[in-house]
Structure 1
Amino acid sequence: MVLPVLPLVPMPRTADLQAGWLPLTDVVRVLGDTTAAAGLITAIEHRCGIRLQADGDAATGGITLRVDPRVADAEGYTLQIAESIEVVGADAAGLYYGIQTLLQLLRETDAGWGWSHVEVADAPRFAYRGVMLDVARHFFPVAEVKAVIDRIAALKFNHLHLHLTDDQGWRLHIDAWPLLSEKASTSSANGDSAGFYSKDDFREIVAHAASRHVTLVPEIDLPGHTHAVGVAYPELVEEPVITDQLRADAAQLGQELPIMGEPYIGTSVGYSSLRIGEERTYEFVRDVLTELSELTPGPYLHIGGDESRGTTAEDFAFFVERVSEMVMALGKIPVAWHEAGAVEKIAPGTYGQYWGMLDPTDAHAAEVAHIVEQGGRLILSPADAIYLDIKYDEDFPLGLTWAGTVDVRRAYEWEPTSLLDLPADAIAGIEAPLWTETVHTLEDADQLLYPRIAAVAELAWSAPDATGRGWGSFRARVGQLAPLWRADGIRFHPTAEIDWRER
């Protein structure tokens, strides 16, 4: 049996489908790397109920898993399926991704479970392939964050950006400032579920991510989006800046205006600010970032910097200069939303995250250019293409429309290197954010993530000239992943753009 289209997302560099079928039975043995073997055995049993056995001492067998740095670039792998299977990773991450490809190829036919014969050689386009989860507006407990990590790792994403703080809530315990978890974690957008992560919780998330080769990128949003800080420590924040636009937004949404020192469950933005001129503010920021740095083995600390409309330009520049240097002093790379590029003396090497439109404004283009001039790199998150909280269409029950609507084809058909007039090596990678103003459950998150997240995965991983890549091919391939997603409990949106398969 030969499948007409390989059910692979993201598209590998090369994938040669051949005649032949390898059946899966419980006599197949998994050889080689014990950690990878255990993961594969568990995943296959979960998918189809067939329990394979690991046999690390056997000389031959059905599925061999090993690492050899010579086979590909970092995170790359080769996969051969014929009379037996061999997955060879350039490193542990590459072996993991090769296994994800093997799992995508596993199919059920009338003759049972098995694989078409195929040869794959693969490696990623971008080193940074990310998803952002907003746990500040809707709190996801540890088990759900781990489920999201499993979901994104299966599509070869390797970074999870956790938006830990915002006006609506603070989500991480800080020893030096205990009222943050006691008082500022009890609210969320629209009165939805709330809470915080203890340090042990956060360590559990970090460890689970590492087991899936995912790096955590924690964000403390500063100096705006800080109303929740004032619920715990009002001396650290300014009075909310109430503008006519804020009043109009609140009236349209039927929400109350923010009141200093009281929890805020609305979704308006841009009114809050830390007290930039107070030294106590920097003691607070230093303590928070120091404790967060100690919890975070990855190289990045995200310091926010977006929509700081309650802060003057001069104060914003002073704050960003000081705090970006503070992160550098902790041995981490600062990441900030692209507005921080307006700051002349931002710490050299700071990464910028671009969340503007596919047609950038002159101001946004200048901000990202300055970040690159200062030795930084860019993470691309264009709102009207890969913000996963934007509606698929006007009638979709979840999501927002301030950036228009984003169907799967729009999420897929843009080219990262054409977005901004910058050298290709200035682009670290791509990240798809999921803001959670309209999210109430993990199922809601699934609906907004899938299938658009698969489009982003392909943009981040696959070379633009990879054989078989393109919208027509993608929509056929992603439709064949439906059985795998269903088996994993993913409640995807069955958009009519895709022909979804039953098995």
Structure 2
Amino acid sequence: MPLALIPWPSSVTPVDGPPLRPQPGTRREIAQRLAASAERLILEGHGPEGYQLIVSAAGVRIESSTAAGAFYAEQTLAQLVQLDADGPLLPAVEIRDVPRFGYRGVMLDVARHFHPVSTVEAVIDRAAALKLNALHLHLTDDQGWRLELASHPELAHRASGTSVDGDPGGFYTRAEYAGIVEYAAARHMIVVPEFDLPGHTHAVGLSHPELLADPVISEHIVEITEQYGGGGLPEQGVPYTAIAVGFSSLRADAPGLEPFLREVLGEIAAVTPGPYVHVGGDEALGTDPADFRAMIELATRIVAETGKTPLTWHEASVADLPRGTIGQYWGFRTGDHAERARAFADKGGRLILSPADAIYLDMKYDAETPIGLTWADGPTSVARSYDWDPAGVIPDLPEPAILGVEAPLWTETVRTLADIDLLMFPRIGSAAEAGWSPPAGSAERTWESFRERIAGLAEAWTEAGIGFHRADDVPWR
């Protein structure tokens, strides 16, 4: 049976000899003690996030080129802790490890349902333990604006009061957002803020009605509203608490649009140390195509002028984007949007892969799952969440054009950290492995191995207070 390591390292070599027997404690406490007392070497050749970890009865040795590599070695160390009749142990082993992709993210939607700083920090901890290095915060949508800005405080103050189904809303102050960024950085994660535009902008109209077009009420909007109930159809100037998409849009001809975007995007860029600012660009179903292109071109140009790299959903590839703009693909693994996504690579950019039918964490596991949705080709079992490889999503896309992977968690039905844990775990392990480990089909990079290894983390997750889903396709122990 393979060691319960998620994501699976580049190479794992058992070493002859007795195990290491540490003093009792939680797995995290044991790993922290061992890491603190470990022999540490800073050596060239491990890369910005790679490491070598050697465990023997005599102790622990960690080699890395950076603090990030040493941090990831400690995460592996925690997963190596086992228990037997004599107490905790770590098997004698030598691990060499380097990530496959440089970007490995999780997205938390705090617009549909607002989540407090403590929950965001908990998500960061959970993601960092699996060697994810980016937190994409979906800060704005039809249901709310969640970041206070000095340039436009009215956005948060007038458009954050509610969430889906009329649940309580909220927003992050500038100080709270800075704290989130700092908390993430201490765990070697960047924060990627998203101001979704030109669609998904109903909340903007609560404080700036002059910038917003009237809602476009299609048959689809009516159908979704009737299907899920509550909230009613969107009305200009009224907070939106239902979950339909595609009805809202900024106005390309609004006289104040460019200065507004320059002030808002400029401030978001200024308070975010990371390299990316996400400007959305998805599901602008009620926006004239020419207007869509014009607004996306304006927004990405503004972001590029701040020195950040623009990041957009894949629909934005129809626009003339600044060279190097990153595209995020949310279509299905065999979807008809692949050509749009490939256009980012043709324009000198790269792609983050988030195929909805594999990696969207808000999908139900099965029909009985109490929360979640099913629009991404039905429920997503743990097996289906694992059964894909980034290199196979966009046909003929060279691997260097893939920046990495990201697992989005939309929160139409997600109200609490317990809800987040239920939908994230164990499927976040599939995303972590897709982003870090060797390609699918390599040694131990199989579903049969993964299901055994993920089962081996059950006690560790329980110890950490993570209420994971005990999926039927995993042999939990």
Query: Contact (CA 8 Å) 1:47, 1:487: kept in 2 or not?
Result: no
In structure 2, which of residues 191, 196, 200 is the aligned counterpart of residue 216 of structure 1?
A: 191
Which secondary structure state, in structure 2, belongs to the residue aligned with residue 428 of structure 1?
strand
1:260 equivalent to 2:236? Answer: yes
In structure 2, which of residues 370, 373, 378 is the aligned counterpart of residue 400 of structure 1?
A: 373
Looking at structure 2, the residues matched to 64 and 486 of structure 1 have their Cα atoms a distance apart, in angstroms, of 30
Looking at structure 1, the residues matched to 40 and 171 of structure 2 have their Cα atoms a distance apart, in angstroms, of 39
Q: What are the equivalent positions in structure 2 for 1:459-498 lying under 5 Å apart? A: 459-464=434-439, 466-498=442-474
1:230 equivalent to 2:205? Answer: yes
- The count of corresponding residues between Structure 1 and Structure 2 is 471
1:388 equivalent to 2:393? Answer: no
TM normalised by structure 2 equals 0.96
Q: What are the equivalent positions in structure 2 for 1:165-180 lying under 5 Å apart? A: 165-180=140-155
Which secondary structure state, in structure 2, belongs to the residue aligned with residue 379 of structure 1?
strand
1:21 equivalent to 2:28? Answer: no
Residue 51 and residue 157 in structure 1: after superposition, are their counterparts in 2 closer, same or farther (change >3 A)?
A: closer
Task: Measure how far apart 1:47 and its partner are.
Answer: 4.3
In structure 2, which of residues 277, 295, 298 is the aligned counterpart of residue 322 of structure 1?
A: 298
Task: Measure how far apart 1:178 and its partner are.
Answer: 1.5
2:54 aligned residue: 80
In structure 2, which of residues 2, 6, 13 is the aligned counterpart of residue 5 of structure 1?
A: 2
Give 2:311's aligned amino acid. Answer: V
Looking at structure 2, the residues matched to 500 and 217 of structure 1 have their Cα atoms a distance apart, in angstroms, of 34
Looking at structure 1, the residues matched to 408 and 427 of structure 2 have their Cα atoms a distance apart, in angstroms, of 11
Residue 231 and residue 51 in structure 1: after superposition, are their counterparts in 2 closer, same or farther (change >3 A)?
A: closer
Give CA deviations for 1:214-264 in whole Å, capped at 9, x if unaligned. 011100000100000111221111111111221122122223001101101
1:188 equivalent to 2:186? Answer: no
TM normalised by structure 1 equals 0.91
Task: Measure how far apart 1:66 and its partner are.
Answer: 4.0
Q: What are the equivalent positions in structure 2 for 1:446-465 lying under 5 Å apart? A: 446-464=421-439
Which stretch shows the higher mean deviation, 298-307 or 482-491?
A: 482-491
Which secondary structure state, in structure 2, belongs to the residue aligned with residue 85 of structure 1?
strand
Looking at structure 2, the residues matched to 444 and 18 of structure 1 have their Cα atoms a distance apart, in angstroms, of 41
Looking at structure 1, the residues matched to 272 and 221 of structure 2 have their Cα atoms a distance apart, in angstroms, of 36
Query: Contact (CA 8 Å) 2:115, 2:415: kept in 1 or not?
Result: no
Looking at structure 1, the residues matched to 311 and 33 of structure 2 have their Cα atoms a distance apart, in angstroms, of 43
Looking at structure 2, the residues matched to 81 and 233 of structure 1 have their Cα atoms a distance apart, in angstroms, of 59
Task: Measure how far apart 1:64 and its partner are.
Answer: 2.4
Q: Aligned-pair RMSD on alpha carbons?
A: 1.7
Residue 88 and residue 195 in structure 1: after superposition, are their counterparts in 2 closer, same or farther (change >3 A)?
A: same
Is there any run of 5+ residues in structure 2 with no aligned partner, and where? Answer: none
Task: Measure how far apart 1:120 and its partner are.
Answer: 0.4
Residue 53 and residue 131 in structure 1: after superposition, are their counterparts in 2 closer, same or farther (change >3 A)?
A: closer
1:306 aligned residue: 282
Residue 53 and residue 130 in structure 1: after superposition, are their counterparts in 2 closer, same or farther (change >3 A)?
A: closer
1:39 aligned residue: none
Looking at structure 1, the residues matched to 35 and 69 of structure 2 have their Cα atoms a distance apart, in angstroms, of 20
Question: Percentage identity across aligned positions?
Answer: 47
Query: Contact (CA 8 Å) 2:6, 2:454: kept in 1 or not?
Result: yes
Query: Contact (CA 8 Å) 1:443, 1:491: kept in 2 or not?
Result: yes
Which secondary structure state, in structure 1, belongs to the residue aligned with residue 90 of structure 2?
strand
Is there any run of 5+ residues in structure 1 with no aligned partner, and where? Answer: 27-43, 56-61
Query: Contact (CA 8 Å) 2:27, 2:79: kept in 1 or not?
Result: no
Give 1:398's aligned amino acid. Answer: I
Task: Measure how far apart 1:424 and its partner are.
Answer: 1.4
